[in-house]
């Protein structure tokens, strides 16, 4: 008979147990060796917590200061979204693979799902909500609309911020450089060509 | 009964319904399709999407972003065996964890059925990932912790993952009728197969396989549900608010009027977010149990494992040709891997595959055999261009192989077998832009008869390839729309659709602006709420949104305009028949000096004038009888193959698509490019790699799964709209969303062959397969 705790076995990345065979489960299956897939932001504490550890955190986001008390294991993306209702930062994978959570930290585009909120205190954090100034869109935002550089738009905040961090440093980029700069941001709708056009057009206006 | 007429197609006479009479609307409004050369102000132009600003500022609220006061977070415990009975389920530790508000399982919620054969919470699981229990807690992290505290004792039963193994006698039997869906293959036949093969000069037979492509929508699957005072409200990541609402009402036995589904923005669907899944019902049940709103989203791993995928198919094509290329017979068989349960996924597994084989080429003698097979896996589902994509990836490579064997140009072979008639029902097409697509694509691309291995440079080889594109259109469905005109002259189109992001809102606005002749910025589109919208489409699948909804919007706009003309007649104090309207000005024909502009007339509306708003109602009528709608196109690519690494890079692509009248040429381009990129992904990279023993997906993450990134796509993708004048509906539209995926595989595989002389018949065409084939070829 096989006993598992939660969905541990389900989350193994490689098969490391025997296949259960036969009605009545004559053979038992070995289980405890299975790897629990690391889940970003939840790895800071073991999965079975005794008590929750809350910590005070101060964040500087889009030029404003926020003081919060949160669980230490929570990621920046999660805190932005859940505590501050800044839901323009999306989560597509929660493990540094898709770029939906891209934010700018001290001028660099980074994956917000893979930063712990406690670790980015005192740094300048820019999210998509801070880009338009006094109701005026940033040239990248305007270009994204004009060139139809999105379909569903779920990757768009991340694409725009990756593009901004890049254009802040690079004047008159080539197409190849734009592609490289955005290669960490998946667009499942495949809006890439219009995204490239938009970034190149915005570069001319900046 | 509308008038019938006779038309001659390919030398034969067909009796069909006359389109002008058939398109007469309710209340006598006549709306014949726009004329071929009619000058249109808004339709056929480039306009950015209507719902735009919030997408680029981060203000757009997806279901994923919805946060309500007191909202709880849910996670689901899923089975870790592919076939097992639950002997024991211990939830007390989870229940005791601080912050946990509810735990549901078959023990306390066993009566809630999912479908005719299973409950929402299973006590006999048939696949890894089946729902066992669910937790609602104060935070997602606590819910996650709680799920890990639930203990399950299983009695493990035999299971089967491999599709061939599942077909063997003695394999674990997953359904009472066996492992082939409903007991036997489904067969479609016409003509005389034996006679057809006997008449052939050349017979060719090849087998192709396609992989399990996953939708991999950036927004994961899930919803926020709130059950309050007997009313269920769901913010859902869905392709259709009406379908989700209707199915939730059915599953939960609620009156339809007590379920409301909202979708303002959707972060990708591609066929995977139509209707409801267990998580919808679980969220609703947890909300009923706790009295709080519940947020339940799958994580990325669960999404890959459970949200559905394109089926794995094994397709055998055998065809006979005359020396001149004319097809004499096709014998086609598709085995498709289905899931464990007897659900709609079994239809997508194989029966849905094969329509291009049946329809695209003229062939009098044909047999199609569909074999959907149960395995202990999650069910496949509709994935952008379902069926046609899998089939064309095989068929279009097969046609290239046949052209080679017959020593014909691939386009010449296809033209030789062109048909303007839908063969399964012997009905002519309303329109067929396939020839024009070949011509335009060839011209733009610079297509010429190819010599294999023509361009060589170091270890790099270049080659070109092409594929036809085919997608089935639909019958006209009963779609409805409303158009309201306000006293200030602004116009609101009200439609029951979700927001997939392809631009249906701007398209509907363009249609209304065209019909009423008002500036586009005056038109707003209300959508996304099942409670406040008419039934425009149940869900946006099948590339039907513009095709079904657009004609209803035009009809509603025409109705509103008619009412406005009546109001103008009153204002001008002339008979209605005397009013003419153009460019925002109403004038009396008899006395041209009597005039009123748009706002002067709409100013007569509203409560201050003692008048109601002006609401135009529109309904889409069936397509005129006797003809068929299908969608065509042609795709051409150039690839560069590195014979040292096996890497295939697409250098450029030309995509010519016939979708009737293009309504918005900007969003048109986005759709076609995006679709092609998904096809490119399926051709070269994407595949759910499963553990052969358990069926657990080993690459259930973006990094290893391989969606195309900015670096994987060609620099140059040229979209060539092919406008056909389609008379099936009043806006001449046919649909566009899905066809662009379908041609990528054939075109890329054929270009690979042209570059290297090797064929990969097993998608995706990974570097290791290419290297292996190159080695075998020397
Ligand atoms: S959510 Fe952070 S990279 Fe995907
Ligand atoms: S626009 Fe949908 S993922 Fe990029």
Architecture of the CATH domain A139-205: Orthogonal Bundle (1.10)
pLDDT of residue B612: 83
Q: CB of A92 closer than 6 A to ligand 2?
A: no
List the single residue in A21, A91, A129 with the smallest CB-CB distance to B58: A129
* Parallel, antiparallel or unpaired: strands B480-485 and B491-494: antiparallel
Phi-psi region of B453 (alpha: psi -120 to 50; beta: other; left: phi over 0): left
DSSP line for A106-158: TTEEEEGGGSBGGGGTTSEEE-GGGTSBTTBPPHHHHHHHHTT--SS-SSHHH
The answer on pLDDT for B292 being more than 60 is: yes
Q: Which are the contacts of B265, defined by CB distance < 8 A and separation ≥ 6?
A: A152, A153, A154, B51, B54, B55, B60, B61, B62, B499, B501
pLDDT of residue B24: 61
Interval B192-250: pLDDT, tens: 999 999 999 999 999 999 999 999 999 999 999 999 999 999 999 999 999 999 999 99
Point out the ligand 1 atom lying closest to the alpha carbon of residue A97: 3
Interval A93-126: pLDDT, tens: 999 999 999 999 999 999 999 999 999 999 999 9
Contact A52 B701 (CB under 8 A): no
Report chain B residues whose CB lies below 8 A from the CB of A14.
Answer: 691, 698
Q: Determine the residue of A110, A113, A157, A188 to mutate for testing ligand 1's pocket, defined as the one with the most ligand atoms within 8 A of the Cβ atom.
A: A113
User: Among residues B269, B218, B298, B687, which one has the least CA distance to residue A98?
Assistant: B218
A190 contacts chain B (CB < 8 A): yes
The two structure tokens encoding residue A86 = 């800044």
More confident residue, B778 or B567: B567
DSSP element (H, E) containing B656:
strand B648-658
Q: Sorting pLDDT into bands at 50, 70 and 90, what band is A13?
A: very low
Report chain B residues whose CB lies below 8 A from the CB of A100.
Answer: 218
Interval B334-384: pLDDT, tens: 999 999 999 999 999 999 998 999 999 999 999 999 999 999 999 999 999
Interval B396-406: pLDDT, tens: 999 999 999 99
- What is the least distance, in Å, from the CA of A189 to any CA of chain B? 5
A186 contacts chain B (CB < 8 A): yes
Point out the ligand 2 atom lying closest to the alpha carbon of residue A190: 4
What average pLDDT does range B588-612 have in this prediction? 91
Q: Sorting pLDDT into bands at 50, 70 and 90, what band is B27?
A: low
The answer on pLDDT for A50 being more than 60 is: no
For B98, the closest chain A residue by CA position comes to: A51
Which range, of A46-55, B314-323, B519-528, averages the lowest pLDDT? A46-55
Contact A3 B152 (CB under 8 A): yes
Q: Which are the contacts of B104, defined by CB distance < 8 A and separation ≥ 6?
A: B121, B133, B134, B282, B285, B286, B289
User: Among residues B56, B527, B507, which one has the least CA distance to residue B264?
Assistant: B527
pLDDT of residue B611: 83
For A72, the closest chain B residue by CA position comes to: B141
Long-range pairs of A67-73 with CB within 8 A, sequence gap ≥ 24 = A68/A117, A70/A117, A70/A118, A71/B139, A71/B141, A72/A44, A72/A45, A72/A116, A72/A118, A73/A41, A73/A42, A73/A43, A73/A44, A73/A45, A73/A116, A73/B141
The answer on pLDDT for A43 being more than 50 is: no
B67 contacts chain A (CB < 8 A): yes
Pair B355, B388: CB distance under 8 Å: yes
Query: In Å, what is the CA distance from B254 to each residue of B66, B116, B231, B247, B290?
Result: 24, 18, 9, 10, 18
Pair B328, B362: CB distance under 8 Å: no
Mutual angle of helices B665-684 and B388-406, in 10-degree steps:
70
Helix count and strand count (H, E) for chain B: 23, 33
DSSP tag of B66: -
pLDDT of residue A1: 42
The answer on pLDDT for A53 being more than 90 is: no
Interval A176-185: pLDDT, tens: 999 999 999 9
d(CA A25, CA B746): 46
B356 φ/ψ angles, rounded to the nearest 5 degrees: -60, -40
DSSP tag of B367: E
Mean of per-residue pLDDT scores for chain B: 95
A136 contacts chain B (CB < 8 A): no
Question: According to DSSP H, which parts of B517-636 are helical?
Answer: 550-572, 598-602
What average pLDDT does range B429-435 have in this prediction? 97
Considering every ligand atom, which ligand is closest to the CA of A188?
2
SS3 string, B301-312, reads: HHHHHHCCECCC
* Parallel, antiparallel or unpaired: strands B585-588 and B579-582: antiparallel
Q: Which are the contacts of B66, defined by CB distance < 8 A and separation ≥ 6?
A: B224, B235, B295
Q: Determine the residue of A152, A163, A185 to mutate for testing ligand 2's pocket, defined as the one with the most ligand atoms within 8 A of the Cβ atom.
A: A152
The answer on pLDDT for A19 being more than 70 is: no
Q: Which residues of B530-540 are buried (b: 16+ CB within 10 A; e: fewer)?
A: beebbbbbbbb
pLDDT of residue A35: 30
Torsion sign over Cα B421, B424, B425, B429: negative
B173 contacts chain A (CB < 8 A): no
d(CA B595, CA B588): 7
Q: Sorting pLDDT into bands at 50, 70 and 90, what band is B583?
A: confident
Long-range pairs of A52-59 with CB within 8 A, sequence gap ≥ 24 = A52/B98, A52/B99, A52/B142, A55/A118, A57/A117, A57/A118, A57/A121, A58/A121, A58/A122, A59/A117, A59/A120, A59/A121, A59/A125
Contact A7 B80 (CB under 8 A): yes
The two structure tokens encoding residue A67 = 């003081």
Interval B626-683: pLDDT, tens: 999 999 999 999 999 999 999 999 999 999 999 999 999 999 999 999 999 999 999 9
> Could you tell me the distance, in angstroms and rounded to a whole number, from the CA of residue B295 to the centre of ligand 1?
20
Q: CB of A111 closer than 6 A to ligand 1?
A: yes
- pTM for the model stands at 0.94
Report chain A residues whose CB lies below 8 A from the CB of B711.
Answer: 179-180, 183
Length of chain A: 206
Pair B245, B276: CB distance under 8 Å: no
> Could you tell me the distance, in angstroms and rounded to a whole number, from the CA of residue A150 to the centre of ligand 2?
6
DSSP line for B462-507: EEEEEEEEEEE--PPP--EEEEEE-TTS-EEEE------SS-HHHH
What average pLDDT does range B707-727 have in this prediction? 96
3-state secondary structure of B399: helix
Report chain A residues whose CB lies below 8 A from the CB of B52.
Answer: 145
Give all domains of chain B, ordered by start, each with its CATH number: 64-157+216-306 (3.90.1170.50), 162-214+308-406 (3.30.365.10), 420-474+626-778 (3.30.365.10), 476-620 (3.30.365.10)
The two structure tokens encoding residue B291 = 């009295």
Strand order in the sheet with B460-472: B455-457, B460-472, B630-642, B648-658, B716-722
The answer on pLDDT for A22 being more than 80 is: no
The two structure tokens encoding residue B662 = 């293009």
Considering every ligand atom, which ligand is closest to the CA of A113?
1
Pair A100, A90: CB distance under 8 Å: yes
Q: Most distant CA pair in chain B: distance in Å?
A: 89
Query: In Å, what is the CA distance from B628 to each residue of B119, B239, B339, B422?
Result: 41, 26, 33, 7
The answer on pLDDT for B763 being more than 60 is: yes
Q: Sorting pLDDT into bands at 50, 70 and 90, what band is A51?
A: low
d(CA B510, CA B503): 11
Contact A22 B158 (CB under 8 A): yes
Query: In Å, what is the CA distance from B35 to each residue of A71, B105, B280, B558, B630?
Result: 64, 60, 45, 16, 20
Contact A92 B56 (CB under 8 A): no
Contact B78 A151 (CB under 8 A): no
Query: In Å, what is the CA distance from A165 to each residue of A101, A142, A178, B618?
Result: 14, 16, 11, 48
Point out the ligand 1 atom lying closest to the alpha carbon of residue A96: 3
* Parallel, antiparallel or unpaired: strands B595-597 and B585-588: antiparallel
Pair B70, B290: CB distance under 8 Å: no
Considering every ligand atom, which ligand is closest to the CA of A90?
1
Point out the ligand 2 atom lying closest to the alpha carbon of residue A159: 4
Judge if A3-130 and A139-205 fold alike in CATH terms.
no
Which range, of B27-31, B76-80, B703-707, averages the lowest pLDDT? B27-31
Residue B649, strand partner residues: B640
Pair B488, B527: CB distance under 8 Å: no
Residue nearest to atom 3 of ligand 2 (CA): A187
Residue window 57-116, chain A: list those with CB within 8 Å of chain B.
71, 73-74, 81-82, 85-95, 97-98, 100
**Cα dihedral B357, B360, B364, B367 in deg (nearest 10):** 10
- What is the least distance, in Å, from the CA of A122 to any CA of chain B? 24
A–B CB contacts, 8 A cutoff, strictly below:
254
What average pLDDT does range B699-726 have in this prediction? 96
Residue nearest to atom 3 of ligand 1 (CA): A96
ipTM score of complex: 0.96
> Could you tell me the distance, in angstroms and rounded to a whole number, from the CA of residue A186 to the centre of ligand 2?
8
Burial of B549 (0-12, 13-18, 19+ CB in 10 A): buried
Torsion sign over Cα B503, B507, B509, B513: positive
Q: Where are the domains of chain A?
A: 3-130, 139-205
Q: CB of A96 closer than 6 A to ligand 1?
A: yes
> Could you tell me the distance, in angstroms and rounded to a whole number, from the CA of residue A101 to the centre of ligand 1?
5
> Could you tell me the distance, in angstroms and rounded to a whole number, from the CA of residue A133 to the centre of ligand 1?
26
A124 contacts chain B (CB < 8 A): no
Q: Is the peptide bond before B25 cis (omega within 30 degrees of 0)?
A: no
B78 contacts chain A (CB < 8 A): yes
Long-range pairs of A181-185 with CB within 8 A, sequence gap ≥ 24 = A182/B710, A183/B709, A183/B710, A183/B711, A184/A99, A184/A102, A184/A109, A184/A111, A185/A98, A185/A99, A185/A100, A185/A102, A185/A155, A185/A158, A185/A159, A185/B710
A164 contacts chain B (CB < 8 A): no
Point out the ligand 1 atom lying closest to the alpha carbon of residue A90: 1
Considering every ligand atom, which ligand is closest to the CA of A100?
1
Burial of B469 (0-12, 13-18, 19+ CB in 10 A): buried
CB atoms closer than 10 angstroms to residue B440: 20
Interval A83-95: pLDDT, tens: 999 999 999 999 9
User: Among residues B278, B296, B289, B144, which one has the least CA distance to residue B235?
Assistant: B296
The answer on pLDDT for B775 being more than 70 is: yes
**Cα dihedral B552, B557, B560, B564 in deg (nearest 10):** -160
The two structure tokens encoding residue B430 = 């309303």
Q: CB of A187 closer than 6 A to ligand 2?
A: yes
> Could you tell me the distance, in angstroms and rounded to a whole number, from the CA of residue A188 to the centre of ligand 2?
5
What average pLDDT does range B146-172 have in this prediction? 97
Report chain B residues whose CB lies below 8 A from the CB of A82.
Answer: 67, 139
CATH 3.10.20.30 describes domain A3-130: yes
List the single residue in A11, A154, A191 with the smallest CB-CB distance to B670: A191
SS3 string, B246-262, reads: HHHHHHHCCCHHHEEEE
pLDDT of residue A11: 44
Q: E strands along B512-644, which residues? A: 523-526, 579-582, 585-588, 595-597, 614-619, 630-642
């Amino acid at each position: 008979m096989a006993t598992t705790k939660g969905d541990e076995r389900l989350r193994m990345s490689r098969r490391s147990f025997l296949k259960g065979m036969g009605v009545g489960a004559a053979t038992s299956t070995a289980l405890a060796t299975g790897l629990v897939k690391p889940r970003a932001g939840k790895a800071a504490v073991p999965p079975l917590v005794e008590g929750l550890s809350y910590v005070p955190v101060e964040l500087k986001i889009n030029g404003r200061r926020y003081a919060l008390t949160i669980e230490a294991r929570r990621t920046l993306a999660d805190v932005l979204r859940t505590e501050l209702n800044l839901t323009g930062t999306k989560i597509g994978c929660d493990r540094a693979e898709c770029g939906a959570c891209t934010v700018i930290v001290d001028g660099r585009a980074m994956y917000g799902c893979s930063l712990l909120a406690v670790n980015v205190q005192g740094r300048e954090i820019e999210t998509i909500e801070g880009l338009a100034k006094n109701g005026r869109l940033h040239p990248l935002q305007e270009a994204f609309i004009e060139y139809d550089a999105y379909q569903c738009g779920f990757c768009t905040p991340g694409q725009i911020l990756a593009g901004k961090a890049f254009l802040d440093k690079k004047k008159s980029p080539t197409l190849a450089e734009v592609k490289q700069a955005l290669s960490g941001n998946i667009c499942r709708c495949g809006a890439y060509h219009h995204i490239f056009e938009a970034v190149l057009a915005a570069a001319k206006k900046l | 009964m509308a008038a019938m007429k006779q038309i001659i197609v390919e030398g034969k006479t067909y009796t069909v319904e006359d389109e002008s009479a058939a398109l007469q609307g309710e209340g006598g409004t006549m709306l014949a399709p726009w004329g071929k050369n009619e000058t249109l102000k808004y339709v056929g132009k480039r306009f950015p999407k209507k719902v735009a600003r919030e997408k680029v500022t981060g203000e757009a609220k997806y279901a994923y972003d919805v946060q309500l006061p007191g909202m709880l977070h849910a996670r689901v415990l899923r089975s870790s065996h592919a076939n097992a009975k639950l002997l024991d389920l211990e939830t007390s530790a989870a229940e005791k964890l601080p912050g946990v508000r509810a735990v549901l399982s078959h023990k306390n919620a066993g009566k809630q059925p999912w479908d005719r054969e299973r409950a929402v919470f299973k006590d006999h699981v048939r696949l890894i990932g089946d729902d066992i229990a669910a937790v609602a807690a104060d935070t997602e992290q606590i819910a996650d912790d709680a799920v890990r505290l639930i203990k399950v004792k299983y009695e493990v039963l035999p299971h089967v993952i491999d599709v061939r193994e599942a077909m063997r006698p003695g394999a674990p039997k997953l359904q009472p009728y066996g492992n082939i869906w409903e007991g036997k293959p489904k067969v479609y036949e016409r003509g005389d197969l034996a006679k057809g093969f006997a008449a052939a000069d050349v017979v060719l037979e090849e087998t192709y396989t396609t992989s399990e492509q996953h939708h991999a929508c950036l927004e994961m699957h899930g919803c926020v549900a709130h059950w309050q005072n007997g009313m269920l409200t769901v913010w859902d990541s869905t392709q259709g608010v009406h379908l989700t609402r209707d199915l939730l009402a059915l599953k939960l036995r609620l009156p339809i009027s007590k379920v409301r589904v909202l979708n303002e923005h959707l972060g990708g669907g591609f066929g995977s977010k139509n209707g409801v899944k267990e998580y919808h019902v679980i969220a609703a049940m947890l909300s009923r149990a706790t009295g709080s709103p519940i947020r339940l989203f799958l994580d990325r791993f669960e999404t890959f494992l459970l949200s559905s995928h394109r089926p794995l198919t094994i397709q055998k094509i055998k065809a006979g040709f005359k020396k001149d290329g004319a097809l004499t017979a096709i014998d086609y068989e598709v085995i498709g891997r289905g899931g464990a349960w007897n659900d709609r996924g079994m239809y997508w597994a194989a029966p849905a595959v094969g329509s291009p084989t049946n329809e695209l080429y003229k062939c009098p003698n044909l047999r199609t055999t569909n074999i959907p097979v149960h395995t202990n896996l999650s069910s496949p589902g509709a994935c952008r261009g379902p069926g046609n994509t899998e089939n064309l990836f095989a068929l279009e490579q097969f046609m290239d192989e046949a052209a080679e064997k017959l020593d014909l140009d691939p386009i010449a072979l296809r033209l030789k077998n062109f048909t303007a008639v839908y063969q399964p029902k012997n009905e002519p097409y309303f329109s067929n832009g396939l020839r024009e697509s070949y011509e335009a694509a060839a011209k733009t691309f610079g297509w010429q008869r190819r010599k294999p291995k023509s361009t060589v440079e170091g270890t790099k080889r270049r080659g070109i390839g092409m594929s036809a594109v085919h997608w089935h259109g639909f019958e006209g469905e009963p779609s409805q729309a409303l158009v309201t005109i306000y006293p200030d002259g602004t116009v609101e189109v009200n439609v029951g659709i979700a927001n997939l992001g392809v631009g249906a809102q701007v398209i509907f606005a363009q249609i209304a602006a065209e019909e009423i002749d008002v500036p586009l910025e005056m038109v707003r589109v209300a959508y996304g709420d099942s409670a406040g919208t008419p039934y425009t489409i149940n869900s946006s699948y099948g590339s039907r949104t513009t095709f079904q909804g657009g004609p209803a919007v035009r009809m509603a706009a025409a109705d509103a305009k008619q009412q406005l003309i009546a109001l103008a007649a009153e204002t001008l104090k002339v008979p209605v028949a005397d009013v003419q309207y153009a460019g925002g000005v109403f004038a009396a024909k008899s006395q041209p000096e009597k005039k009123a502009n748009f706002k002067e007339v709409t100013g007569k509306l509203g409560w201050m004038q003692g008048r109601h708003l002006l609401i135009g109602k529109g309904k889409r009528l069936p397509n005129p009888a006797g003809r068929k709608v299908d969608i065509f196109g042609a795709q051409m690519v150039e690839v560069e193959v590195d014979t040292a690494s096996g890497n295939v890079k697409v250098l450029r692509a030309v995509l010519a698509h016939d979708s009737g009248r293009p309504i918005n040429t900007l969003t048109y381009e986005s759709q076609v490019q995006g679709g092609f990129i998904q096809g490119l992904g399926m051709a070269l990279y994407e595949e759910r790699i499963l553990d052969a023993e358990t069926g657990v997906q080993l690459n259930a993450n973006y990094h290893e799964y391989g969606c195309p990134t900015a670096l994987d796509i060609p620099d140059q993708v040229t979209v060539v709209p092919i406008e056909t004048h389609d008379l099936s509906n009043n806006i001449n539209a046919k649909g566009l969303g899905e066809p662009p995926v379908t041609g990528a595989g054939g075109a890329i595989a054929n270009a690979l062959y042209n570059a290297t002389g090797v064929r990969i018949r097993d998608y995706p065409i990974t570097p290791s397969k290419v290297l292996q084939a190159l080695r075998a070829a020397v």
